[in-house]
Structure 1
Amino acid sequence: MSKTETEQNPLSLFEFWPGSIFYTPIVLYWIAMGLKYRDLSIPTAANPRIETGGLCGESKSSILDMAGPIAQEAIAPYAVFASGMGALDRALAAMERKELSFPVVVKPDIGCNGTGVKLVRSREQLESVLPQFPNDVDLMVQELIDYPVEAGLFYIRHPDQPQGRITSVTYKEAPVLTGDGHSTIEELIMSDPRMGQVPQIYLPRLAGREKSVLAEGEVLPLVFAGNHCKGSVFRDGRADTTPELTARLDAIMKDVPDFYFGRVDVKVPSVEALQRGEGLRIIEINGVGSEAIHIWDRRTTLWEAYRAQFSHYHQTFLIGAANKARGWKTSGAFGMLHSWRKQRRLLASYPMND
């Protein structure tokens, strides 16, 4: 991609539309499908062992805990502890049980879009981070996988199919600033063709550093959590889907009981390793509420984005209906609402992500 091309098209048309606008057609599609199947909550049976199928309110660790030996080998080690008084001791004990050492990642066990995700480099930093969370919530501490490539892999398998498939591969890139010795951080952000259009995403998390000047050549990563709405840049990597990668991910996901639909967030040593299906380290497994995030590549058209969204949600209804016919229960509309309200309340109480 040339510099000229990037400057001409730094954002897609809809990349930062308000959710109330972008997702309205998707909500209407969901309602139409729900009326067709006479159950608005059919997709919650797509991953029937997970609360709401992973639509909202689910525990991240409960999904990872279901993994068998093949999947566990690929999952970055993690432990869960409760926030509140004594959380530091519980966190350190959890790290000791899993033989984790700093730096680590601390994040809410129930959450989405990277809210509350913290990169913690020392015991002292952990001590200062933990009080930022509300009392009596479960937090995860996880090994920091320091691989250079992060990707979201979308996986779908129907209950009657022996093999699953990958429908989306997306690379997540953290934006960085490079100092010139005289411009402030805020000036560098505002002069960037992409970041300058959405400074409200980056400036609030600088904690008063926006007027600081980076030395010439000094590099400052602006976002740690790999989430588009938090400022990471997403690149469509579907061209790197290979039979080897598909076979490896399929083997892993079939080792998570009755998991049929969702996105697996991984880190790998290189794009070539990803293509070979080698070196995958899983950070999270997300269910029905996850997206095929290649739609947030700046080159994706609005029609392509909606086509991908409708196609994927159509699959959740097909899979959910098949599982319901096999005897699994859906959460019901009120169950979905209860889980959504629980998640929304928790998200509002978490600190800003790194």
Structure 2
Amino acid sequence: MTHASATAPSQADASRPPSPLSMFEFWPGWAFYTPIVLYWILMGLRHGDLSLPTAANPRIETGGLCGESKTDILDMAGDVARQWIAPYTTVTTGSADDAAAATAALARAGLALPVVVKPDIGCNGTGVKLVTTPAELAATVALFPPDIRLVMQRLIPFEHEAGIFYIRHPDEERGRITSLTYKEAPLLVGDGRSTVRELIDADARTRLVPHLYLPRLGARVHDILPAGETMRLVFAGNHCKGSIFRNGADDITPALTEQIDRIMRDIPDFHFGRIDLKFESIAALRLGRRFEIIEINGVGSEATHIWDSRTTLREAYAAQFMHYRETFRIGAKKKKAGWRSSGAFTMLRYWRLQKKLLASYPLND
């Protein structure tokens, strides 16, 4: 057995036999998302506004659909929410000495290495890099083109990672958690004989999607791992980058819901989105304790439990349709209260901006 995970699996859906991949897990984007786009259009026509979901989080650009700033969202946090967010600062590339500018920004914020560096506008973990030394910091900022704002965030000491989807209607006093997903990093365990590539090919899951891992490994694929030594294949907790997602619905407790709701109500007019965080243990998370928030995503985020290999296509679409239906409902309520949606052309402009930026970022860790 060459595969291990960095997060203990949830008990949710335990009755289903494990499967390396679901039937749709790595379909082309157009194949999986076409029905969802059609559903969005149908809902937009029904409400008379194709961009209505962008009003669900009206203080965020496009409601967090695309092209929004990660730090602009985090900067809105009040005193309560800020206590739960991992400290961060930013630096914009293109100065005479980007490495010195980044070092100075860290010093001003009272941050020290290691940090996680990532583009302020981005998605799916593109460009996320773990930096542990000054030399790595200099090399990392040099990978980005000029005029890119980078987030530098303290490396959270907790090993486990999760995505929590949160919804609160404007006329509701309390919000709710609609999805909890554990994000597992694939680990190879050396046997003292096999190369990294051979270990990848021997695992039931990684051998089916080697293209997710090989580009970032380079010549390391020929290394032989000593017996018992582990290698983490991906750092960024994103499914499309190779992390494994597990449905954690059974661990959504009243205590966790209350804590997440308390945090999110301290971010003005935030009603719909996913909180990505790292946590100490499942037991602590169930109590709403011992976690730190990495980032907060708006209406463009997904309830990522759909990428659990045990999820059926019908369940995945049901979850997607429910969430987008809710964001249209929330957007309608916010619009009635006087907020405005961004408009279809603005959505398109931000989507094109984000797509252009993503293409300029380096490969993630």
Structure 1-normalised TM-score? 0.97
Query: Taking structure 1 as reference, are residues 351 and 211 closer, same or farther at Cα in structure 2, changes over 3 Å only?
Result: same
Amino acid at match of 2:155: L
Cα displacement (A) at 1:7:
9.4
Matched, 1:339 2:362: no
Give the stretch that moved more between structures: 110-119 or 204-213: 204-213
Alpha-carbon RMSD = 1.3
Matched, 1:89 2:106: no
Aligned length: 351
Aligned counterpart for 2:29 among listed residues 19, 28, 33 = 19
Alignment partner, residue 118 of structure 1:
129
Superposed counterparts of 1:41-190, under 5 Å:
41-85=51-95, 86-190=97-201
Alignment partner, residue 261 of structure 1:
272
Alignment partner, residue 285 of structure 1:
296
Cα displacement (A) at 1:208:
1.7
Alignment partner, residue 220 of structure 2:
209
Give the stretch that moved more between structures: 63-72 or 181-190: 181-190
Cα deviation 1:104-139 (Å, max 9, x = unaligned): 100000000000000001101111111111111100
Aligned counterpart for 1:307 among listed residues 318, 321, 333 = 318
Amino acid at match of 1:291: E
Cα displacement (A) at 1:207:
2.1
Identity level (%) = 62
Check the 8 A contact 1:84/1:131 in 2, yes or no.
Answer: no
Cα deviation 1:205-230 (Å, max 9, x = unaligned): 10221111111111100100000000
Aligned counterpart for 2:305 among listed residues 291, 294, 297 = 294
Cα displacement (A) at 1:280:
2.1
Cα displacement (A) at 1:325:
0.5
Distance 2:16 2:198 in 1: 19
Alignment partner, residue 228 of structure 1:
239
Aligned counterpart for 1:37 among listed residues 47, 69, 73 = 47
SS of the residue 1:196 aligns to: helix
Distance 1:96 1:303 in 2: 50
Matched, 1:237 2:237: no
Gap runs ≥5 in structure 1? none
Matched, 1:247 2:258: yes
Cα deviation 1:117-165 (Å, max 9, x = unaligned): 0000110111111111111110000000020221100000000000000
Distance 1:21 1:255 in 2: 38
Amino acid at match of 1:188: L
Gap runs ≥5 in structure 2? 1-8, 10-14
SS of the residue 1:147 aligns to: coil
Check the 8 A contact 1:7/1:193 in 2, yes or no.
Answer: no
SS of the residue 2:142 aligns to: helix
Deviating above 4 A after TM superposition, structure 1's stretches of 4 or more consecutive aligned residues are: 5-8
Distance 1:128 1:254 in 2: 39
Distance 2:224 2:321 in 1: 46
SS of the residue 1:207 aligns to: helix
Check the 8 A contact 1:264/1:284 in 2, yes or no.
Answer: yes
SS of the residue 2:318 aligns to: helix
Distance 1:87 1:72 in 2: 28
SS of the residue 2:221 aligns to: coil
